[in-house]
Amino acid sequence: MMKIEGCTAIVTGGNRGIGLGFVEELLTQGAARVYVGSRVLADAQEVVAKDPARVVAVELDVTKPDQIAAAAAACKDVNLVVNNAGLCTMERLYDTGDRDAARREMEVNFFGPLEMSRAFAPVISGNGGGTIINVLSAGGIVAVPDMGGYSPSKFASRAAGNCLRAELAPLGVHVTALIVGSVETRMAAHVKNVAQSQPVDIARAGLWAASRGIDEHDTDPHAIQVRAHQARDPKGLEKAMAKRVSTPRKG
């Protein structure tokens, strides 16, 4: 079981949104140190100011393997990794003006967590074991056509997490997947007519799941509703999602 109090964590994309929620909740629950991964160090300084004794900014773009390797070398006391950094371009797969968007989403949302897991699993294991938390999405259990590249990348990351859970178990490293619904963040600003949870609520649910060794956890009411709809009427949900792309974006 992962003990949050006294742990040392690194949070990718920890300077805002759900990542910032994790940093705040980790501090509240007594983490010894929290590394805030940010593509631009200056963007993390406001977070560091919350608790300079326990919060350390780390330059970390999860699409750059050299920065991931450098972070793993510098943060040798980590026993909890929160793979939170994400990208959602809101581009479709076919009807798109940016054919490279899906590739960029895969780099951030799939390869980023994969490379972080590869780099930090030996660190976690060397510190007596711990947990990797992958912040996923309801779009990773239900295909959302209007989020063409994002949804497949989260499906892929969920599958990779299942594989890594089996691979890393002998090292004493557990993988917890979080299925996240609508949250009040910049990334979800486009979401309408859905009650949005707060980032810190997602973090609290995620740390609760990690502390109990749970494999996959629905973190909020919207994620739970999506899961229930999928179980009750999968074809109906698929049709509902298809309506999101009923109007072409281009003439």
pLDDT at 113 over 60: yes
pLDDT at 106 over 50: yes
Does residue 180 fall inside a structural domain? yes
CATH number at residue 86: 3.40.50.720
Does residue 79 fall inside a structural domain? yes
- Are the C-beta atoms of 59 and 38 separated by less than 8 Å? yes
Q: For position 59, what pLDDT does the model report? A: 98
- Mean residue pLDDT across the chain: 94
Domain tally for the chain? 1
Q: For position 232, what pLDDT does the model report? A: 97
pLDDT at 250 over 60: no
pLDDT at 95 over 80: yes
Using pLDDT thresholds of 50, 70 and 90, give the confidence band for residue 184.
Answer: confident
> From the centroid of its chain, how far is CA 57?
18
Does residue 3 fall inside a structural domain? no
Least confident span in 48-57, 58-67, 187-196 = 187-196
Does residue 1 fall inside a structural domain? no
- Please give the average per-residue pLDDT across 102-122, as a whole number: 98
pLDDT at 173 over 50: yes
Residues 107, 114: Cα–Cα separation, whole Å: 10
Supply φ then ψ for residue 122, to 5 degrees: -65, -35
Residues 20, 38: Cα–Cα separation, whole Å: 11
Does residue 88 fall inside a structural domain? yes
Find the DSSP H helices in 127-251: 150-168, 199-211, 221-232, 234-242
Using pLDDT thresholds of 50, 70 and 90, give the confidence band for residue 247.
Answer: low
pLDDT at 233 over 80: yes
Q: What is the pLDDT of residues 119-169, one digit of tens each?
A: 999 999 999 999 999 999 999 999 999 888 999 999 999 999 999 999 999
Domain span including residue 209: 8-245
Does residue 73 fall inside a structural domain? yes
Residues 112, 30: Cα–Cα separation, whole Å: 27
- Please give the average per-residue pLDDT across 172-187, as a whole number: 89
Using pLDDT thresholds of 50, 70 and 90, give the confidence band for residue 216.
Answer: very high
pLDDT at 188 over 60: no
Q: Which two tokens stand for residue 30?
A: 């007594």
Using pLDDT thresholds of 50, 70 and 90, give the confidence band for residue 88.
Answer: very high
Q: For position 243, what pLDDT does the model report? A: 85
Does residue 250 fall inside a structural domain? no
Dump the DSSP string for 210-232: HHTT-SEEE-SHHHHHHHHHHHH
Does residue 186 fall inside a structural domain? yes
Q: For position 195, what pLDDT does the model report? A: 73
Using pLDDT thresholds of 50, 70 and 90, give the confidence band for residue 251.
Answer: very low
55's torsion region: left (phi>0), alpha (psi -120 to 50) or beta? beta
